[in-house]
A = this chain, B = another copy of it.
Amino acid sequence: MFEATKVGRSVSKSAFKEQHDDLRTQLLEAQRELRSAQIPVVVLIAGVEAAGKGEVVNRLNEWLDTRGVQTFAFWDLSDEERERPRYWRFWRSLPPRGELAILFGGWYQAPIEDRFHEHCDDSILAAELNRIVDFERMLTHDGCLVLKFWFHLSEKDQKRRLKKLSRDDRSRWKMLPEKAQFSEHYRRFERVAERVLRHTDRGIAPWYLIEAADERYRDLTVGKTLLQAMRSRIKRPLPMEPSPTADPLDLPETAEAQITLLDQLDLEQKLGRDFYKRELKRLQSEINELAWKAYKQQRSTVLVFEGVDAGGKGGAIRRITSAVDARLYRTIPIAAPTDEEKAHHYLWRFWRHIPRAGHMIIYDRSWYGRVLVERVEGFASDDEWRRAYTEINDFEEQLVEHGAILLKFWLHISQEEQLRRFEDRANTPYKQYKITDEDWRNREQWPRYKIAVNEMVARTSTESAPWTLIEGDNKPFARIKVLQTICDHLSAALTTDPK
């Protein structure tokens, strides 16, 4: 596939000069338009050694208004990054709407290098490439313009350039391998690159192969192509995911056919006061011990709490946080997103808070808002919340792959119990802040929430990231079940996988 980058294309000095000023003016113009259209742009720069990737990035920073451009390289991995799933660093580098990010290598660098140095085999590479395709699809569907440039040189040109580089004292190319070995390296790198590019060359985010031997041709082509892509993105509507081919299950119209998981819960279950106190004490001491054990084994814990209003999330969370050492956990209450968060993909704000290895993060509401409140209230479009199941599963898979223990709780109460609690809140001065008009409005959506919860559990409860439904009418019962579930899972995970 690299034949077309070895044809000897070039641009004369005079032609470059002639086209340069005009291009620059137009790039700045397009950048302003993108900003007002609130379109984020990712420019990914990759290619063979010595193709001048750094020079291209410098050129782009010279041409563009740098106040809206951030450049990221990924060659030195920080501790912070090492202790989180690999994509954390890419999420950190995604531009807010209206701005550009220029990424050196980006998510392609590690897969290509790992395969080239034979740290992984073809099937692992293939899995990695599929993750990339999904990731780029997700960015594109969210409105981002993803541009991938690959810079290529013929073997002869690469050798010539590396020789020149090797005369530079700061170069790591002090010694070139001899001819036979060089040729073999060149061809092996091309084979890996071919596989990677071919697999990730999709209509939604195509690769641009650029012949890099002539610098003027190279830079002018990047600039013009970037300009063209920005312009056509401004004109075109947001790319859309194909609409789902079908709706949810259409159930027979009888009560016995329409029951959900939530109808199955036995909300009458209760615990006596003394038993509750004893159990609470035992489990709280156990959970603290387990949190320390997790810390020593560098396993992070992610706890997600969702549930109906007044379902008892806060109370259950407090029973955990009052037990675990404060250095080990953090609670993240999810309210309306900030401006900065709104300027990114909806998962971005959850990626931000991913715990470092060994820590516990407790989400009071979470990314599941997308398929619960946003679905029911119509804040997310049909396409958006349907797509979210896959996006959420991918996100959680990455957490689990990186060693996180992930548990999700749905706290459920009956409509009657909710009414009692609402009225209690309204009548108790120090609880009044907890009840709003919105809570009463949400109550009317009860049947639609039930359907959404049922589908959420069906589509996202997995062996490695299970949902636990908590019968919440009796608070002691609910709290003990939450604590017991956490202790069970933590001790199973920490015993079976000691480090």
Q: A147-B245, A201-B459, A221-B250 are in contact. List 18 more A-B contacts (CB 8 A).
A: A1-B458, A1-B460, A2-B458, A3-B461, A9-B251, A15-B254, A123-B123, A127-B130, A141-B242, A194-B462, A201-B390, A203-B386, A204-B242, A206-B245, A206-B386, A228-B246, A240-B242, A241-B242
> Nearest chain B CB to A487's CB is how many angstroms away?
22
Question: Residue A31 at the B interface, CB < 8 A?
Answer: no
Question: Residue A28 at the B interface, CB < 8 A?
Answer: no
Number of interface residues, chain A, beta carbon within 8 A: 89
Which among A85-93, A97-105, A257-265, A288-296 touches the partner chain? A257-265
Contact partners of A178 in chain B: CB under 8 A? none
Question: Residue A337 at the B interface, CB < 8 A?
Answer: no
> Nearest chain B CB to A383's CB is how many angstroms away?
7
B220 touches A233 (CB 8 A): no
Question: Residue A37 at the B interface, CB < 8 A?
Answer: no
> Nearest chain B CB to A455's CB is how many angstroms away?
8
Within 8 A of B (CB), among A61-95: none
Question: Residue A236 at the B interface, CB < 8 A?
Answer: yes
Question: Residue A310 at the B interface, CB < 8 A?
Answer: no
A252 touches B3 (CB 8 A): no
Contact partners of A208 in chain B: CB under 8 A? 246, 249
- Contact code string A6-37 (vs B, CB < 8 Å = 1, else 0): 01111110011001000000000000000000
Looking at A9, A127, A145, A237, which has the most chain B CB atoms within 10 Å of its CB?
A: A9
> Nearest chain B CB to A190's CB is how many angstroms away?
9
Instruction: Return 16 A-B CB contacts under 8 Å, by A number.
Output: A1-B459, A1-B460, A1-B462, A2-B458, A7-B261, A9-B251, A126-B126, A130-B130, A140-B245, A141-B242, A209-B458, A217-B257, A224-B250, A229-B246, A239-B242, A239-B243
Contact partners of A59 in chain B: CB under 8 A? none
> Nearest chain B CB to A336's CB is how many angstroms away?
26
Question: Residue A210 at the B interface, CB < 8 A?
Answer: yes
- Contact code string A462-480 (vs B, CB < 8 Å = 1, else 0): 1100010000000000000
- Contact code string A420-454 (vs B, CB < 8 Å = 1, else 0): 00000000000000000000000000000000001
A11 touches B257 (CB 8 A): yes
Counting every copy of the chain, the complex holds: 2
Contact partners of A224 in chain B: CB under 8 A? 250-252
> Nearest chain B CB to A480's CB is how many angstroms away?
21
Which single member of B205, B249, B463 contacts A194 (CB below 8 Å)? B463
A residues contacting B by CB (< 8 A) are 1-5, 7-12, 15-16, 19, 123-124, 126-127, 130, 137, 140-141, 145-147, 191, 194, 198, 201-206, 208-210, 216-217, 220-221, 224-225, 227-229, 232-233, 236-237, 239-247, 249-254, 256-261, 263-264, 383, 386-387, 389-390, 393, 454-455, 457-463, 467
Known: A241-B204, A257-B9. A229 touches B251 (CB 8 A): no
Contact partners of A210 in chain B: CB under 8 A? 249
Q: Which residue of B lies closest to A202 (CB)?
A: B390
B393 touches A246 (CB 8 A): no
> Nearest chain B CB to A436's CB is how many angstroms away?
31
Docked CA distance A208–B246 (Å) = 10
Contact partners of A460 in chain B: CB under 8 A? 1
A7 touches B259 (CB 8 A): yes
Contact partners of A4 in chain B: CB under 8 A? 260-261, 454-455, 457-458
Contact partners of A228 in chain B: CB under 8 A? 246-247, 250
Which single member of B146, B202, B463 contacts A191 (CB below 8 Å)? B463
B3 touches A383 (CB 8 A): no
Known: A228-B247, A390-B203. A254 touches B127 (CB 8 A): no
Docked CA distance A202–B201 (Å) = 20
A233 touches B217 (CB 8 A): no
